[in-house]
Structure 1
């Protein structure tokens, strides 16, 4: 292991028994074992967090769009069976095309968008 043989291990245990006493030695070993266990849990959780695949912004946007479209589709599928006088409120027909798509949080500028901004700024200055 660390170059420690049986005689060295026995010597370490005897010194520990003399220094800490027979009452404290099991308690120290128990707390040392708990500390080692917690350290192993923390390192495994850390390595799992590092190795977990990251979700790209495109995937995040797609999942957000799916989540916003599902309630809209469910509302469009539910239509009243018959209209009675007590039901004065009518629901408008909602389709996924009528609901505007959410704007992305950040769009990287493209060459075309930069050119348009420069042209707009030149028009404003002129």
Structure 2
């Protein structure tokens, strides 16, 4: 929510209050918060895996031995044709 200002958040909350009512709004905001937390956690995990793969040449060699390429093939490597 980096690009939302205080006024914009207030308008969103007021619209939520009008649409959902006072009894459902806290439950829905908790669910949205949990979903955002899960998305951030998954994104962070993906970034860490990608960073580790790029920074660890041993992982690249192990992946190549298994037949998986972590990076794009270079000109001297054969490519699979579909």
Both proteins in one fold, TM over 0.5: yes
- Unaligned runs of 5+ residues in structure 1 are 61-104, 106-126
Query: Structure 2 matches for 1:20-99, cutoff 5 A?
Result: 20-52=20-52, 53-55=56-58, 57=61
Q: Which residue is 2:72 aligned to?
A: none
Q: Size of the alignment, in residue pairs?
A: 59
- Unaligned runs of 5+ residues in structure 2 are 67-82
Q: CA deviation at 1:29?
A: 0.6
How much is the aligned-residue C-alpha RMSD, in angstroms?
A: 2.7
Which has the higher relative contact order, 1 or 2, with Cα contacts under 8 A spaced 6 or more apart? Answer: 1
Distance 1:20 1:28 in 2: 9
Task: State the SS of the aligned residue for 1:22.
Answer: coil
Larger Rg: 1
